[in-house]
Structure formats: C-alpha cells, structure tokens
Amino acid sequence: MHSYIDTAKSLPETLKFYRRDVITMANRINLNGTSFHGAGAIAEIVNEAQAHGFQKAFVCSDPDLIKFGVTKKVTDVLDEAGLAYEIYSDIKANPTIQNVQNGVAAFKSAEADYIVAIGGGSSMDTAKAIGIIIANPEFEDVRSLEGTAPTKNPCVPIIAVPTTAGTAAEVTINYVITDVEKKRKFVCVDPHDMPVIAVVDPEMMSSMPKGLTASTGMDALTHAIEGYTTKAAWEMTDMFHLKAIELISKSLRSAVANEKEGREGMALGQYIAGMGFSNVGLGIAHSMAHTLGAVYDTPHGVACAMMLPIVMEYNAECTGEKYKEIAKAMGVEGVDDMSVEEYRKAAVDAVRKLSVDVGIPTKLEALKEEDLSFLAESAHADACAPGNPKDASVEDLKDLFRKLM
C-alpha cells in the first residue's frame, strides 16, 4: 500500500510521526474523547465540566469575539450554572510566542484547572500551547515545541468550542505559533494537545462575516484535499477526507450566504476533515500559507485558498487516481468518461471556481520578488512540507509563490 517509501530512515521526523505504519505496521488515529454536534450543543459544556469535577475554567477567546458577544454565549451558560471562570483575551490572529507566554502566566494566576477555548484557530492554538506548557514546563520557551516535541504529559484539559468552520483545531493534534523575531510560523504536532471535548455548535458560527466564512471554509477544503493526497494517507482517512470534500463543496457557498443549512454542513465538514488530516499531515499548500501568514500577516484561510489550486496543479502527476475522486466529490459530472489529464484539470478547476465564487483573491499584492528566497526556504523547512505527495525543492517553491504575483 505504501511502496513509494522503502525505509523509515528516509523519512523526516514529522513524517515519521504520521507514517508509523512504515515503522510499526500500525496506523494511528487520535480523536477527542467526546464531541457534541448540532445547534444548542454548548449547553453540554456544563454537564461535561461537572462530570469531570472541574472547578474553574480559563476561557481563551480573542478580543473581537468578546466584543461582538460571541464568547458571551458560552460564558452565559457557565454563569447560569454557577461555574467559575476567568477570561484570557491576549490573542491575535497568527498568535505569537508572547501571546502564549502571557497566557501561561495568566493561567497560573487564575488557579484554573481546565481551559475552555472559544474561537477559531488562533484561540485554539494559543490554548493548546498554554495547556501543554502548564503540564510540561520545560517547554516554556515555546520554540522548543516545534515539530514533534517529546512532551511527557497531556495538556491541561481543554473543552474546545469552534466559532469558525474551517480550522478543525478542536479535533487536531496540531497547533501553529508565530515567531515574530524570526518572521516565521512553526507547526507543533503533539497528541498531548488534543482537546478532551469538542463542542461543534453551528450557532456559534452564525456571526462570522462573509469573508471569514469564505476563507476558513477554503482552509477546511485545503485540509481535506491535502490530507487525502498526503504521503501518509490511508483508507480510513481517505473516507474522512472524501466526505469532507463533498460536504464543503455543497455547503460553503450557502454558508457564505449565512444560510442555516450551509452553516451546519460546514460545521460538520470541517470537523470530519480534521478527523483525517490531523492523523496523516498536510502538504506544501499549508507550508507556504504558514510562511505568507508569518511575513505578511495574510489570513491563513486566504493564503491556503490562493495556494491550493496552484499546488494541486504541481502535485497532479503524483496523485494516481485521487483527483478523479476529488472531482466526483465536488460534483463534477462525467468524470468516469474523462482521461487522467481531463479529470485532474476538472478537479483543479472545481477548486478554483469555488474559491472565486466565495470571493477569495487570486493574487497577493504584498508579495515581492526579493522576499521569495526567504519565503521558499521557510516553507521548505515547515513541518507540513514533508507530507506533500511530490517532493518540492526551494526553487520549486519559489516558482509556485511567483504564481501569486
């Protein structure tokens, strides 16, 4: 099944983590202990907190969610049940090492014993890093968590409540932190950061503006397609990813229009994508998006959406018949009668059309030729890069970045 890799010795460390089958002949799946899905699911937070004997919550949520009353939907539930909590909101998009270190200090001061993470990837990633460091203080510098750090203890228990339909951070073992000093984002992959409970309530996503709905939705599609084509993909994760591609393709346009059915479809689709990619890794669309976020502060979903069709074209020759299944899942008709070249183009075209339909730009004006070497080198070193189905050189990555200019 995995004949393209002969020995574990040839694998980068991050890919070894996902490709356990090469070493042990076993595929591993990490998921939440419990997850709740559907409108009104946030009411279950109280039951779970009480059942676990938790005493005080450390609520991680970003300033905008607090300002617009989204966080309050959850804290109202805690207030009604008389559950103690303290809010931490020193969180920005593309969260930084400083955001994490400030959060660690705030958690200690709060004397909390669990975290309620409310938000998109930024709130979730900050919460995961805080929870890991509290349980593994030897990693308090944060930078040492990059890649597959050898943490020994599970993080502080996290109840994760997503407010965007895209990152699936509530069901992944990944988090991403920005090193402002070095102008780079680094990926941390650690089963110890998995939230114990995920509460996926589409009503928590209803206040998302159109642009954020579109960009996080395309991030979810990138997760599903990269997870489906990554070197570590296998039958169970293929099942997750194909269903996620189908749900996202059917639901994203409707979700951007703020229709209930579309929001519900995206909430489920992005979660299912997370069930897959978290366990097999991603590819260079993500490694390049991380770099764009670190250098230009490009929103992650926008960067992924711009890179995805470009990377799909680059990867096509190394994907077997997988683009046929992607095209089918995206609703392309007549796929079975197409040649290999035709269905690969059809899959890429379907992705590109969805991206344009929901208002994602195709060019990045901030991108400069003089930045390309640094961007490509950073993307090449990113923990997501080794999973790409086609090995990309620094020069290849430069050429791919140029397609955004």
What three-state secondary structure class fits 136? coil
Judged against a pLDDT cut of 60, whether residue 6 lies above it is answered with no
155 and 282 share one domain: no
250 and 369 share one domain: yes
Token pair of 103, please?
């959060």
305 and 379 share one domain: yes
Residue 14, pLDDT score: 62
199 and 213 share one domain: no
**2 lies in a domain?**
no
End-to-end alpha carbon distance in the chain: 39
100 and 56 share one domain: yes
Residue 15, pLDDT score: 61
Residue 183, pLDDT score: 87
Overall domain count for the chain: 2
163 and 284 share one domain: no
DSSP state of 120: S
Q: What is the pLDDT of residues 158-183, one digit of tens each?
A: 999 999 999 999 999 999 999 999 98
Judged against a pLDDT cut of 90, whether residue 17 lies above it is answered with no
* CA neighbor of 43 nearest in space, from 82, 77, 85: 77
Residue 17: partners with Cβ closer than 8 Å, 6 or more residues away: 148, 189
**130 lies in a domain?**
yes
**398 lies in a domain?**
yes
198 and 248 share one domain: no
18 and 147 share one domain: no
Tell me which of 145, 171, 205 is where a domain ends. 205
Residue 208, pLDDT score: 85
**154 lies in a domain?**
yes
Per-residue DSSP letters for 359-384?
T--S--TT--GGGHHHHHHHHHHSTT
Judged against a pLDDT cut of 70, whether residue 25 lies above it is answered with no
307 and 217 share one domain: yes
Q: What is the pTM of this model?
A: 0.92
User: Which CATH number characterizes residue 112's domain?
Assistant: 3.40.50.1970
Domain that includes residue 12, residue range: 8-29+209-402
Per-residue DSSP letters for 237-273?
HHHHHHHHHHHHHHHHHHHHTT-HHHHHHHHHHHHHH
Q: What is the mean pLDDT of residues 131-141?
A: 98
Tell me which of 174, 205, 236 is where a domain ends. 205
Residue 10, pLDDT score: 38
318 and 389 share one domain: yes
Residue 1, pLDDT score: 29
User: Which CATH number characterizes residue 386's domain?
Assistant: 1.20.1090.10
* CA neighbor of 83 nearest in space, from 56, 48, 103, 102: 56
64 and 136 share one domain: yes
Judged against a pLDDT cut of 80, whether residue 263 lies above it is answered with yes
The mean of the pLDDT values for the chain is: 93
**1 lies in a domain?**
no
Tell me which of 176, 205, 234 is where a domain ends. 205
